[in-house]
Structure 1
């Protein structure tokens, strides 16, 4: 008599493997999103500490001089000292060096628009030194969430609860 598995036993094994796969695949995708969220929050937290420290030591207002950002997700916005993290759904987080003394005007009516990103009139693009005499540079963390699952989870108060912040180059959080 030959020994082996019956057809019923093989079907049970295939069904059990299918159930395990149905449970494991969504958890694997959630783990990938969690890792992405943790990476973004780590980048933002590191920037909030490193950029003011770098500025205090070097008087250099450039973000990338103080911290390494993943160039595949963090994109520099034009010639300004402004970096935007984007996913497939759109923009999510903006890190920007701004002038603390900018006031609300017709050109900058919204709170998220206060503080024009650093331009070449504010800092020397070659060495990053702040040259605007009446301004104080501030690192801003801006919620530029344009949708998307990862972004929504990042800014969700019940999730990772990333919050907008304005950090002076002395390392203190300030209000506009």
Structure 2
């Protein structure tokens, strides 16, 4: 009586594992991008609300970092602008601008992206918008 697997049984097992992996790996990668897009959407909503509230309470906003604290591994934070980059390109940015005495908050989304997180955000209805700060 043999103890072990024949070569045919091992090849069959490897083929089955390969077939399962061919379905599982792309699904996993899509799930990862969807989760990141969800995080970025939540960050956009939180940042927008925080900046508006800070401006309403204080009447001014010198630095955007005074109003919000975001994960710096995802977001680049400058004085009046925060930016999320996807594959090295600007994907989403929020910027406080002073337009002749009227402050605005500009949300800019790269709607030309053909893949990645920007494409998911655009498909989810996130689009470039200008908010007046009162």
Q: How does 1:143-158 map to 2 (within 5 A)?
A: 143-144=109-110, 147=113, 149=115, 150-155=117-122
Unaligned residue ranges in structure 1 (runs of 5+)? 103-134, 171-176
Unaligned residue ranges in structure 2 (runs of 5+)? none
Task: Identify the structure with the greater strand proportion.
Answer: 2
Give the alignment's Cα RMSD to 1 decimal. 2.2
Task: Name the CA distance, whole Å, in 1 between partners of 2:95 and 2:118.
Answer: 18
Q: Which has the higher contact order (CA 8 A, sep 6+)?
A: 1
Aligned partner (choices 151, 166, 171) of residue 130 of structure 2: 166
Shift of the alpha carbon at 1:141? Answer: 0.5
CA offsets per residue over residues 37-77 of structure 1, 9 Å max, x none?
Answer: 11211111111211111222233413222222222332235
Task: Identify the structure with the greater helix proportion.
Answer: 2
Task: Name the CA distance, whole Å, in 1 between partners of 2:91 and 2:114.
Answer: 8
Aligned length: 132
* 2:69 match: 68
Q: How does 1:13-92 map to 2 (within 5 A)?
A: 13-61=13-61, 62-77=63-78, 80-92=79-91
Report the TM-score, using the length of structure 2 for normalisation: 0.82
* 2:94 match: 95
Report the TM-score, using the length of structure 1 for normalisation: 0.65
